[in-house]
Amino acid sequence: MTARERIMAFFHGEEPDKIPVFAYDASILGGQQGGWARRLQARGMGITRLVPPHQPYFFHPNDVNPGADDITYIETHYIEKGLPKRRLALETPVGCISSVVVGSPPPSENYACAATEEPFVKELADWRVVNYVFKRITDVLRPNYTAQKRMDDEVGDQGVVVSILDRTPFQRAWVDLADPVRAALDFKERPAEIEEYLDVQKALHERIAEIAAESPIQVFNVVENLTNIISPPYFSQYCTPFYKMYQKAFEGRDAVLGAHFDGQIGHITKEIGDAHLDYIDSYTVPPVGDVSLTEAKRLWPGLRLWINCPPHLAQAEPDEVRAGYELIAEEWGSKTGIAVNHIEEIPVYKWEEHLSAALDAFGY
C-alpha cells in the first residue's frame, strides 16, 4: 500500500498492510529541516498537511489576521532577555487588543514551539473587541478549495491533506484568546460579553460548516487541543453541539470527522462516546495520558485512535522507543483503527531516530 492508502484505510476503519506512521509536514515550520522526511518517506512514512477549508483561518499564534478592511493587524518581532518574541496586535473600530508570544530559545532547532506570554483578553471589556473581530471574520469568510486541491495534488501518494476546523467556543476562549483562569471565570459568570461571544462563535461555525460541506477533502479535524482543563458539562455544552453541527453538514458525503484531544481525557470518556466522532487525533497513551488502549477499545468501539508520539519516549534512545511502540501494537492487537502521527512533544533533533524506530516496530 502507498502511504496515502494506508492512512485512508485507518480513517475508514479498514485494515492496512502496516500500522500507519505519519508526520505533520515540517515545511510549515520553516527553516532548514534536513533530509529526515525524505529518508523516512522512502521507508514508507507518510506526511499529513493541514489546510483549512476556508480563509481567513484564526489560529493563535500562527495566523490571527482577520483579513477585514476595517481591522489593522500589526505583528512586531523583537528579542527580550535573549528570547525571540512577537507582539500580535488587532486595531478595530471598537478598540485594540494584543498578545505576546515567546518562541523557543536558541538553538531554535531543539523545539518547534511557542508559548503565550500575554493573551489577547486581559479584562472583560476585551471580549467586546474579540466579538467584533470574529463577526468580521464571519463576514469575509470564503472557501479555500483551490489551495486544498493544490495541496492534495502536491502530497499525492505520500500522504493526506486534513481539512482543519476551528476550535469550539470554550477551547478557543482559553487556548487562543484568554488565559485559562480568565476564560473559566467569565464562562462561569456568563456576562453579556460572553453571551455575545457564544452567539458570534455559533454563527461563525455555521458558516464554516456550509463551506466545509463542499470541501474536496474527505478528512476533517476540529483542532481543539482539548485536555483535562475542560469539565464534562462544558464538553457537552460547548463542544458536542458543534461536532453534531458538522456531522449534519457532512450527511450524504464520504467525510470523516475527528478532533484533536491530547493529554488526559479520562474524566470525559462518556461524553466523548456520546459525541460519535470517527477518530481522536493526538491521542496520548499512558503514562502521560490516562486512558489505556485497552480501555479505549472497550469504551469507544469503532473509534479510531490517531496516536501522538508518546511524550514519555520523547528523549528515549531508539531501542526504548521501538520497544514502546511494540507494546502499543501488542496492546491494541490489530492493525485496524490505530495510527501514529508525529504532532509535537519531540525535539527536532530526535525526529528521525524516533520515527525510524516506530517504523522498525511496525515492520517497515
- What does the pLDDT look like over 300-336, one tens digit per residue? 999 999 999 999 999 999 999 999 999 999 999 999 9
Please check the confidence at residue 36 and state whether its pLDDT lies above 90: no
Q: Are 283 and 224 in contact (CB under 8 A)?
A: no
pLDDT tens string 53-94? 999 999 999 899 999 999 999 999 999 998 999 999 999 999
In the numeric block, the cell 487525533 is attached to: 281
Count how many Cα atoms sit within 13 Å of the Cα of residue 66 in the half-sphere of its side chain.
24
| pTM passes above 0.85 | yes
Give the pLDDT confidence score for residue 25 in this predicted structure: 79
Q: What percent of the chain has pLDDT over 70?
A: 96
Per-chain mean pLDDT for the chain: 94
Cβ contact 331:285 at 8 Å? no
The strand pair at 83-92 and 114-118 is best described as unpaired
Q: Determine the residue type at 320.
A: E
Neighbours of 173 (CB within 10 A): 27
4-18, 106-120, 128-142, 350-364: least confident range: 106-120
Of 87, 85, 78, the residue nearest 114 (C-alpha)? 85
Handedness of CA 242, 229, 189, 121 (dihedral sign): negative
Query: What's residue 27's pLDDT?
Result: 54
Q: Are 315 and 110 in contact (CB under 8 A)?
A: no
Residues 6+ apart with CB under 8 A from 333: none
Residue 32 has pLDDT above 60, yes or no: no
Does 273 score more than 90 pLDDT? Answer: yes
Domains of the chain: 3-60+123-361 (3.20.20.210)
Please report the DSSP string for 78-123 in residue order. EEETTEEEEEEEEEETTEEEEEEEEEPPSSTTS---EEEEE-S--S
| Coarse DSSP helix, strand, coil percentages of the chain, rounded to the nearest 5 percent | 45, 25, 35
Q: Pseudo-torsion of CA 162, 112, 208, 242, nearest 10°?
A: 90
SS3 category, 251: coil
Q: Are strands 54-55 and 21-24 parallel, antiparallel or unpaired?
A: unpaired
pLDDT exceeds cutoff 60 at 108: no
Residues, the chain: 364
